Amino acid sequence: MNYWYLIVAFSLCVAPQSLAQNLELKKLAQQDQAVRMLPPEEASKVNWHDDDRVQLVLEFLAKGTVQTPEDKFYAALILDHTPLGSCDDRVVAKSPYNYLLAHYLAKQSFAAGYKDAGILVAQTMDRYLSFTVGHQKYGTNRVYNQTTDKEELVPIDRSVPDSERAKYGVPPLAELLKTWPEQKTEKKPVAK
């Protein structure tokens, strides 16, 4: 019987800490957003870069310190900014699976009632699909076309209804297409 009281006392001491928001993660997310508001020449002078923030988020996840819906939102936000690189004149993700991990975190956050995570659910899935299969589901991901010197939407899956977009705070497809042009998909020749 004495063990029962010890277990209850221990869980009361530990539980509030395990469900406390990770303030260091929140600070990283604020820094992530602040850097994006800077002009490019100033942003390049910042000591902490996306790679550094992504690495810390992965460490927090490994330690189990990403617990609250807010924590999951902040972790997803940072992972969604996993750096890109180039290969054969194409923009490629250094680690596309970080976008998928970000999607699951954003989805958990949204399901737990953190409404700000809705748009991030769509953005992270679009980012993952854009850099793995070359199209997106919701229409949140744009890329810079060096030929036209304009931002363009990565090709969008037309089977996704506007009701699903609205669920996550994404405008209807027609509205998206009025704002940005969509990339032309290259039809590859069929081998005979």
More confident of the two residues 37 and 100: 100
pLDDT at 78 over 90: yes
How does residue 85 score in pLDDT terms, banded at 50, 70 and 90? low
Task: Find out whether 154 and 134 touch, Cβ atoms under 8 Å.
Answer: yes
Cα-atom radius of gyration of the chain, to the nearest Å?
A: 20
**Residue whose token pair is 């602040």:** 34
**Residue whose token pair is 């001491």:** 13
- Name the token pair of 29: 């997310």
Could you give phi then psi for residue 131, rounded to 5 degrees? -100, 5
- Name the token pair of 13: 């001491």
DSSP state of 184: P
Spell out the residues 6+ positions from residue 158 whose beta carbon is closer than 8 angstroms to its own: 173
> Which of 44, 27, 23 is closest to 35 using CA atoms?
44
pTM: 0.80
The lowest-confidence range among 22-36, 39-53, 63-77, 123-137 is: 39-53
